[in-house]
Amino acid sequence: MSNLLLVMLGGGLGAVVRAAVTNSCSKLSTQLPVATLIVNLVGSFLISLLSGIAIAQAWLSPLIIVGFLGGLTTFSTLSLELTNMLTTKSQRMLFIAYSFLQYGLCFMACIIGYVIA
């Protein structure tokens, strides 16, 4: 199976999981975009963990790391959410808090995955 097909399959599955997480989190009453935070934290941890351990089968990397985790995590949604917060005067403090949560916690999740691997 070609690497592009593996990336497509993994990416599709990752996007479906992200949509399910977004749908589940939409029931929460919070100003914080929890779904994006969750998928980015999980993705940061898993990409570091899986990159740190030798993936025995070469086809797993395009399927899981590039495809699934690429479809699961979302930098563009994060950028839009932060832009919307920054341009809404009443959400400037939320912008600062969410920026620290996303970048700080995702970086820590990545380090934890690296250490475990």
Per-residue pLDDT 10s for the chain (117 aa) are 799 999 999 999 999 999 999 999 999 989 999 999 999 999 999 999 998 886 667 888 899 999 999 999 999 999 999 999 999 999 999 999 999 999 999 999 999 999 998
pTM of the full structure: 0.89
How far is CA 18 from its chain centroid?
8
